[in-house]
Amino acid sequence: MNALDDVIDSLSRLPGIGKKSATRIAYHLLKNDRSVCLRLADDLSVLHEKIHPCKICGSYAEQEVCPVCSDPLRDRSVICVVEQPKDVQSIEAVREYRGLFHVLGGVIAPLEGIGPDQLRLSELVSRIHTEHISEVILATNPSVEGDTTALYIQKILKNLGVKITRLASGLPVGGDLEYADKLTLARSFRGRSVF
């Protein structure tokens, strides 16, 4: 096992990268300038050191409090609840939502041994009490686990006097009825709006 095999092995453990892609990337790095490879190495070596969960919302940030939580221009009366830090990034990229976030750190998945206690739910409840929140948007994924988790949170929060909403689920824009799966199509009927 030489240094090249080591790189291929390490790269192929990353999500979405198989042995062939890893090999291609390793040879690409060797063929190109040394600085490209060293820059990536440097960036990776400081990643865990510099990036930590925001102590308020739980998404990743270099500071103790993330840019969203510390931005005075955000709407501080709305919290969008998501599963993972990367969901914050996906939503921020759309530039549609201007409120705050709360990262659960996962979903209720009994088969994987993840119960409500492992999620950041007590932090959510205390934020609703202290931060004068008027609406909680449940933005967990439209999957079995995501729906279950949303339902569980709705039950916990329903007596706290906040409006609780769930992201719309239905046909994707640009999609085609023919190719929509049955569950999505059924849900698009249930969630239909007046035109």
**Residues within the interface to a second copy (CB under 8 A):** 2-4, 6-7, 10-11, 13-17, 21, 23-31, 34, 36-51, 60-62, 84-86, 89
Neighbours of 179 (CB within 10 A): 10
What is the C-alpha separation between 29 and 102, in angstroms, rounded?
Answer: 38
Asked whether the beta carbons of 82 and 103 are under 8 A apart, the reply is yes
Closest CA to 149 of 106, 87, 90: 106
The distance of closest approach from Cβ of residue 37 to a second copy in the complex, given in angstroms and rounded to an integer, is 5
The distance of closest approach from Cβ of residue 165 to a second copy in the complex, given in angstroms and rounded to an integer, is 26
Which CB, 30 or 186, lies closer to a second copy? 30
The distance of closest approach from Cβ of residue 22 to a second copy in the complex, given in angstroms and rounded to an integer, is 10
The distance of closest approach from Cβ of residue 192 to a second copy in the complex, given in angstroms and rounded to an integer, is 31
Tokens 């201007």 -> residue: 98
Which CB, 43 or 75, lies closer to a second copy? 43
Q: E strand or H helix at 80, and its extent? A: strand 78-82
